[in-house]
Structures are given as C-alpha cells and as structure tokens.
Amino acid sequence: MAANGKPIRGRFAPTPSGRLHLGNALTALLAWLHIRSAGGEIVLRLEDLDRQRCKPELAGELPGELKWLGLDWDEGPDVGGPHAPYEQSRRTALYERVLDELQRQGRLYPCYCSRADLQAAASAPHGLDAEGPAYPGTCRRLTAAERTERALRKTPSLRFAMDEQANYRFHDGIAGETVFSGASGGDFVVRRADGIVAYQLAVVADDIEMEITDVLRGWDLLDSTPRQLALYEALGSPPPRFAHSPLLLGADGSRLSKRHGAVSLPELRDRFGVRAERLVGFLAWLAGLCDRVEASRPADWIAAFDLASVRRQAVTLPDNWIDLLTGK
C-alpha cells in the first residue's frame, strides 16, 4: 500500500511513434519490477495524442512486444479496466475539463509567439534539457488590447504560468534529492496552437484520474518533473513518487537511436534470433541489477529488486552488445 493507504499503482506510457527499442524496454522492465516488487497494480496507457507522429498499426503491436518481453499489466487498451479509455487520443474531454479549471484559476494565458520567435529565445540563459530553452514570458506581459490585435493574425497556444519564485524539491527514487527553480524552464505550453493538448498536461491529468502513485520513466524526463509538480499543486492533487531510469547510449556516447543499428525489439528477435529471456538478462545487467548477463524472466527479479541497485549514470552499450545478447 502507498503511504496514504491507497493501492500502489504504476504505469507504462509508451508513444506509438516507433517500435519499442532497447531504451524503452529497459525503462519498461524497471517500471514493472518497481511496482510488482511492491505488490502493486500496473496500467498500460498509450500516449498517442500527436496523430501525425503516432501510427495505429504500431499502437496495435506495442502490447504484444511488451508481452513477448514477459511483462503484464492489470489495466490497458487490450484488457480494459475502470479508468478506460487507455489511449490519450480518446481522453480529450478530461483534458478540456482540466484546462477549464486552470483557466478559472487564471493560471493560463494565450501565447502568439511563432516558431521563429521561440528560436530567437534560444539564447536564454536557462532552460530544461527535455523542453529546450526557457520561454522568456513575452506573451505573459501582453495587454488585453495587444492580445486582441495578435489574435487577428495567429491562433495562440496556451501556456501555464509558473511561479518563478518557487523551488520544486522532490526525492527521486534513483536520482536522489532533486531541486529545480520555478524560473528554470519558464512558462510552458499546455495546448498547442493546433489544438493538441501538450504532454505535460495530459500526463498529469491521466495520472491523477488513474490514481497513479508511482512513476518510473526515462532520465530524459527528469527535468519535466517540476512542471508537473506545479500542475499537481494547481489541481490540488498530491503528486506520485518519481524515479528516473538511466539513459541508454550508443557506443559513440550519443542517445540510442536507429543510427546505431538494430535496436528495436522486433529486429533483435527476428533478425538476430534474440530470445526474450536473454534480452531480460541483458537489460538487468545494463541496469546494474547483476554483474553478468544470464537468461532470466522479469518475474525472476521481483523478490530481490531494489531501486537503490539501479545505476544513476547513463549506460553505454559495449561494442560487443549483440554478441552478449545472442550468447555468442
């Protein structure tokens, strides 16, 4: 049980814009172990709001890829549950209600800045790695007349006004004690000019409604946390406990991507004959859970799993990683 007496609940929330790769699989495995080792419930949610990037056929394949790895969940698109639907593209009514509440509080304002305006702000001294340069607050200071005039020329996005005097402190289950200034990333978009609700708002609205108590996700989202903490505070909801798993890097030290070769799960399975048990053992070794690669199932790690054992530093794939995966 969580500290408030509620059941421990975690989630996977992949974006179906590409096939699951090693980095996704590492995070999914650790998130699964984190919740299952505490006897908790897991939700599978598809973050498919950006319909231009997301592909329905990939959304249909994701559950199968996770199951091949040996992971399961208690609620999701394929099994249903009390918090359905589990695709963000079908949850827009919830997001509109949350936006209305933030509007009522006076926490949102229209932003008419173009992409060129935002690029010009790239010289700003502060920013968040996950979100780019800090927004300088240009449209926050517009008068009503200026907003009316700009609205004639451009459909605005909506930004959430951060408290620049606040400090957001939290204990990350892997990164440890963490603090961000409210001014470090600037005000952020919660609804784009094309009407698509932004990640920051959707993920908080979903995690509140789905009663998520624990979130383990990739390290690249660590500096998104203060923005989400600000939203939780504005919506009067306690935040979940956060943990951010290490990034997986290619042998050249850059973030793992297609240019590093066959890194998707289907490729590894179909092209190289990698078995799921070997992949799970490899991921456990990369995470720091063991000192050598041994074939195993996710369930084999539940009893001994401890977040304190997970590496804090980024993990670089060794040159012979394919041989380690295939057992050669």
Closest-CA residue to 191 (of 97, 104, 110, 94): 110
Positive or negative torsion for Cα 165, 171, 174, 176: positive
Phi, psi of 302 (to 5 degrees): -60, -50
- Rounded Cα distance between 11 and 45, Å, is 7
Concerning whether 258 is annotated as a catalytic residue, the answer is yes
Measured over the CA atoms of residue 32, residue 34, residue 40 and residue 45, the dihedral's sign is: negative
Q: What is d(CA 14, CA 321) in angstroms, rounded to the nearest whole number?
A: 24
Separation CA 30–CA 298 (nearest Å) = 9
Residue 14: count other Cβ atoms within 10 Å of its Cβ. 21
CA distance 108 to 123: 25
Burial of 316 (0-12, 13-18, 19+ CB in 10 A): middle
User: Rounded to the nearest 5 degrees, what angle is found at the Cα of 63, between the Cα atoms of 61 and 68?
Assistant: 95
Q: Kindly name the residue from 6, 67, 154, 258 that is annotated as catalytic.
A: 258
Q: Which of 200, 240, 289 is nearest to 35 (CA)?
A: 240
How far are the Cα atoms of 116, 140, 229 from residue 143, in angstroms, in the given order? 22, 9, 29
Q: Which residues are catalytic?
A: 258
